Amino acid sequence: MHFSKKDIFAIPNILTYVRILLVPVFVVVYMNAQSLSGHIWSIVIVAISALTDIVDGIIARKCNMITDWGKIIDPIADKAMQFAMLFCVVYKYHWILLLIVIYAVKEVVSLIFSGFLFSKGKHIAGAMWCGKICTVILYGVMLALIAFPKIDPHVVTILIGFSAAFMLLAFFVYMTAYLQLYKEYKKEQREDKKEE
């Protein structure tokens, strides 16, 4: 990993810093929302965050500005906003606690596996399809709950269950990929020992 001053101030990374700064702004606006306008502003903040995420990815790829620093802070910005939305909404919809638990376990286990495998020279190349779908669904559910504070409780249960199912699917697919990489690493180790 190499971090240069140029990388730290690359345009995609600056957009990522904006996303990180929007997290506390979202929390303050949502938690103090007393009317429809407060909820609308909360959605606008999340939308700006999502838009900057898309834009920074496009700029990084098109302008060859993908950096090691960006690979670290981009997912941090994503997870920070996702956790912020979950923790804010759980005060109104207690079943969101289920999503928080699944999400936290998924992220912690993934961090442990990916960190270990990365230290051994193994890693998953980019986000997998299930992770992207899971993120889109989570954002959709959170935005629905933020936008419609008086949503029917049965609809809330369905939305939470739907999001939880895709989180578990993403967790299963990622764990399968991590275990495959681990097997490859162990096989390479055995072959190296034979050569010695």
- How sure is the predictor about 1, in pLDDT bands with cuts at 50, 70 and 90? low
- As a whole number, mean pLDDT of residues 90-108 equals 89
Q: What predicted TM-score, i.e. pTM, was given to this entire model?
A: 0.79
Please tell me the predicted confidence (pLDDT) of residue 12. Answer: 86
Please tell me the predicted confidence (pLDDT) of residue 125. Answer: 64
Please tell me the predicted confidence (pLDDT) of residue 71. Answer: 78
Please tell me the predicted confidence (pLDDT) of residue 126. Answer: 59
Please tell me the predicted confidence (pLDDT) of residue 27. Answer: 94
Please tell me the predicted confidence (pLDDT) of residue 50. Answer: 87
- As a whole number, mean pLDDT of residues 152-173 equals 92
- As a whole number, mean pLDDT of residues 56-69 equals 82
CB-count burial class (<10 Å; 0-12, 13-18, 19+) for 36: exposed
Judge whether 139 and 42 are in contact, CB under 8 Å. no
- As a whole number, mean pLDDT of residues 6-35 equals 89
